[in-house]
Amino acid sequence: MKRFVMIGISFVIAGFLMASVCGAQETAAWKIGGANLYSDAFERLAGDFDVTKKGCKPLILGSTTGKGIAELLNGEINLVAASRALNAGEKQQASAKGLQVSERQAGKTSIAIVTNAKNPVKELSMEQLKRIFTGVTGNWKDVGGPDESIRVTMRAVPETGTGVLFQQVVLKGEAHAAGAQVMQSYRTTLVVVGKSMAIGYIPTASPYYLKMAEEGVKEIKIRVDGSNEAINAPVGIVKDTTFPISIPLVLIWNEKSSSACIPDFVNFVEGTLAKGNLNVSKTGQM
């Protein structure tokens, strides 16, 4: 009798271990990479999705858009949450490797312009913004602020999709101001701007956008050239927006991927955004 009991227990333990291993393998095989700014939102999306699709919860591996795309092309991850579409070189690499890559823009997040909370400047036009970030305007007094030099901060180009888009949309392809400081993270942007008369930018999908007040940072409203009204960036990830400085959320995946969870997850993300803004939390880490 004891022998049968032990055999039964052994089968239970073996079944449990096998289920654990299979679960670990599914998690390991189903990975999302790409822009760090979307990591917090995708952690939440993944959790909600797993409730309806058991065994489909992915592992979120945020880095940069460029790195995420490279990992997808190398077969290291299954899906990229990117802040831009594939460029010509990346499409060529995908074709050469026999990948069937799909892209879908699911939504947008806007880029808030930030400065020190003690700076009296409340709004800027797109033209003023361009002149500041290209170095033509170097003193806050020229835009209604104090007689102090403007410390320009930026994100790496071409490594980050945010930096690339900002250069295209705001700088119109021109180079950043000489001496502009590259920020390694949005946390770094908050620290630098909160301690000096600097200017920078943070996507509203980043949890650090909600931490501005406690770091002595504020948002500057943007006035579209030709308009009399200055507006704030919409918070979080939205299906669409007319705010002039917005970056896309592009989902990129290989149709030949072994994970059947991907198409369902892509549809889930689009459906979630169609219902309203996906806001970030203050607890997320970037």
Per the model's pLDDT, the better-predicted residue between 93 and 281 turns out to be: 93
What was the pLDDT predicted at 278? 84
Task: Spell out the residues 6+ positions from residue 184 whose beta carbon is closer than 8 angstroms to its own.
Answer: 156
Instruction: Note the CATH architecture for domain 2-108+249-274.
Output: 3-Layer(aba) Sandwich (3.40)
Residue extents of the structural domains in the chain = 2-108+249-274, 109-238
Instruction: Note the CATH architecture for domain 109-238.
Output: 3-Layer(aba) Sandwich (3.40)
Give residue 89's pLDDT band: very low, low, confident or very high (50, 70, 90): very high
Q: What gap in Å lies between CA 73 and CA 97, rounded to an integer? A: 8
Give residue 25's pLDDT band: very low, low, confident or very high (50, 70, 90): very low
Q: Are the folds of 2-108+249-274 and 109-238 the same? A: yes
Cβ distance 224 to 123 under 8 Å? no
Rounded average pLDDT over 9-17: 42
Per the model's pLDDT, the better-predicted residue between 166 and 25 turns out to be: 166
Nearest to 278 by CA among 27, 39, 53: 39
Digit-coded pLDDT (tens) for 110-128: 999 999 999 999 999 999 9
Rg (CA), the chain: 23
Rounded average pLDDT over 80-98: 94
Nearest to 176 by CA among 193, 197, 201, 194: 201
Range of lowest pLDDT (120-129, 192-201, 225-234) = 225-234
Tokens standing for 40? 């917090």
Rounded average pLDDT over 62-75: 92
- Give the burial string for 93-108 (b: 16+ CB within 10 Å, else e): bbeeeebebeeeebbb
Q: What gap in Å lies between CA 162 and CA 35, rounded to an integer? A: 9
Q: What gap in Å lies between CA 44 and CA 32, rounded to an integer? A: 13
Q: What gap in Å lies between CA 281 and CA 236, rounded to an integer? A: 10
What was the pLDDT predicted at 281? 57
17: three-class secondary structure by DSSP: helix
What was the pLDDT predicted at 280? 63
What was the pLDDT predicted at 203? 92
* pLDDT higher than 80, residue 192: yes
